[in-house]
């Protein structure tokens, strides 16, 4: 039996995806274990699930950090605004609001990294974690460019409807098919390489509530499947030529799913 995959999970809300992954590990659908759960707020309901399963948990209180007037004094020593701005496209250093965004996030992310440090993990899953991770964090986790180590589940068929409310956006747009996506996390907003997707029909009688129900059910299945592929060492990134906006040719990293080894 291969060694178990050690998974760190970050959450913000009710944690039903976290629960699905915990269950899949218990049922051995994934040869893995959740080693810790981190939340961006103290009252994230999913923390109760961690407690129930005796999984160590921690909180990095983003709201407090964002409101902190003393942020300059708390910046991690290796935070380099020039480096972050060159990595993060569209980051205009002269825009003080954006600069503050990256500074507060670096303080929060340094706190998460610090709290994660004592856990040995091979993969971080974002399970309804509603905070953007910046290059400061991502580059400390991803050491090998071909095997990223942060996954996210998103409530839409990306690249349609990125952002914070995928099901609502798809519903209000009048989409006839809804779905969810598991992808690796890169510097953009829900732009990372797609690992797996699952769709469902949006019917005339559907409401936002029924769409969310169908969507979550699909998510629980899909996240388990994607994590299992990672655990089996079957996910790698390859670079492909693609059409960018305006017809420009760009290079895009995409996920290649390797055959199962016998
Ligand atoms: C899920 O629908 C997930 O796709 C979404 O938050 C919900 C969390 O539910 N995530 C995002 O929108 C990320 N941008 P859960 O807390 O019950 O797992």
- Residue to mutate, 17, 163, 166, ligand 1, most ligand atoms under 8 Å from C-beta: 17
Predicted pLDDT at 67: 98
Residues within a 6 A CB radius of ligand 1 = 11, 13-17, 46, 127-128, 130, 153-155, 164, 166, 216, 219
Q: Is 187 helix (H, G, I), strand (E, B) or coil?
A: coil
160 within domain boundaries? yes
Predicted pLDDT at 1: 67
Predicted pLDDT at 128: 98
155 C-alpha to center of ligand 1: Å?
Answer: 7
22 within domain boundaries? yes
196-221: string of b/e by CB count within 10 Å (b at 16+)?
bbbebebeeebeeeebbebbbebbbe
Residues belonging to the active site: 154
- Residue to mutate, 11, 34, 153, ligand 1, most ligand atoms under 8 Å from C-beta: 153
- Work out which ligand 1 atom sits closest to the CA atom of 216: 2
117 within domain boundaries? yes
Note down the domain range covering 215. Answer: 5-234
Residues 179/156, Cβ–Cβ less than 8 Å: yes
145 within domain boundaries? yes
Predicted pLDDT at 89: 74
- Work out which ligand 1 atom sits closest to the CA atom of 18: 18
Supply the residue whose CA is at minimum distance from atom 2 of ligand 1.
Answer: 155
Strand pairing class (123-126; 57-59): unpaired
215 C-alpha to center of ligand 1: Å?
Answer: 10
How far, in Å, CA of 260 to CA of 262, rounded?
Answer: 6
How does pLDDT run along the chain (262 residues), one tens digit per residue?
Answer: 689 999 999 999 999 999 999 999 999 999 999 999 999 999 999 999 999 999 999 999 999 999 999 999 999 999 999 899 888 876 676 788 999 999 999 999 999 999 999 999 999 999 999 999 999 999 999 998 888 999 999 999 999 999 999 999 999 999 999 999 999 999 999 999 999 999 999 999 999 999 999 999 999 999 999 999 999 999 999 999 988 777 778 899 999 999 987 6
How far, in Å, CA of 166 to CA of 212, rounded?
Answer: 10
253 within domain boundaries? no
Q: What angle do CA 115, 117, 118 make, to 5 degrees?
A: 95
- Work out which ligand 1 atom sits closest to the CA atom of 165: 12
Q: What's the domain count of the chain?
A: 1
256 within domain boundaries? no
Question: For residue 65, which of 90, 45, 42, 84 has the smallest C-alpha distance?
Answer: 42
Predicted pLDDT at 216: 98
- Work out which ligand 1 atom sits closest to the CA atom of 15: 16
Can you say whether the dihedral through the CA atoms of 55, 56, 61, 62 is positive or negative? negative
How far, in Å, CA of 17 to CA of 88, rounded?
Answer: 29
Question: For residue 17, which of 49, 42, 41 has the smallest C-alpha distance?
Answer: 49
244 within domain boundaries? no
Supply the residue whose CA is at minimum distance from atom 8 of ligand 1.
Answer: 128
CATH number at residue 23: 3.40.50.170
Residues 30/5, Cβ–Cβ less than 8 Å: yes
Start-to-end C-alpha separation, the chain: 13
245 within domain boundaries? no
Supply the residue whose CA is at minimum distance from atom 5 of ligand 1.
Answer: 128
How far, in Å, CA of 119 to CA of 108, rounded?
Answer: 18
């Amino acid at each position: 039996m291969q060694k178990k995959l050690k998974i760190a999970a970050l959450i913000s809300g009710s944690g039903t995806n976290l629960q699905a992954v915990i269950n899949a590990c218990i049922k051995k659908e994934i040869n893995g274990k959740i080693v810790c759960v981190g939340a961006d707020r103290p009252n994230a309901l999913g923390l109760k699930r961690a407690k129930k399963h005796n999984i160590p948990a921690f909180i990095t209180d983003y709201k407090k950090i964002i409101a902190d007037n003393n942020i300059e004094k708390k910046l991690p020593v290796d935070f380099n605004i020039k480096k972050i701005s060159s990595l993060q496209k569209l980051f205009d250093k002269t825009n003080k609001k954006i600069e503050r965004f990256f500074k507060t996030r670096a303080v929060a992310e340094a706190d998460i990294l610090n709290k994660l440090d004592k856990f040995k993990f091979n993969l971080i899953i974002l399970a309804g974690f509603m905070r953007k991770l910046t290059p400061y964090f991502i580059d400390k986790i991803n050491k090998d460019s071909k095997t990223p180590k942060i996954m996210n589940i998103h409530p839409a068929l990306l690249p349609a409807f990125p952002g914070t409310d995928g099901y609502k956006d798809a519903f209000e747009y009048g989409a006839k098919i809804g779905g969810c996506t598991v992808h690796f996390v890169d510097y953009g907003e829900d732009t990372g390489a797609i690992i797996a997707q699952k769709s469902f029909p949006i019917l005339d009688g559907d409401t936002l509530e029924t769409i969310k129900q169908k969507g979550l059910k699909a998510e629980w299945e899909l996240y388990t499947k994607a994590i299992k592929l990672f655990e089996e060492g079957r996910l790698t990134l390859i670079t492909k030529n693609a059409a960018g906006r305006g017809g420009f040719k760009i290079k895009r990293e995409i996920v290649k799913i390797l055959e199962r080894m016998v």
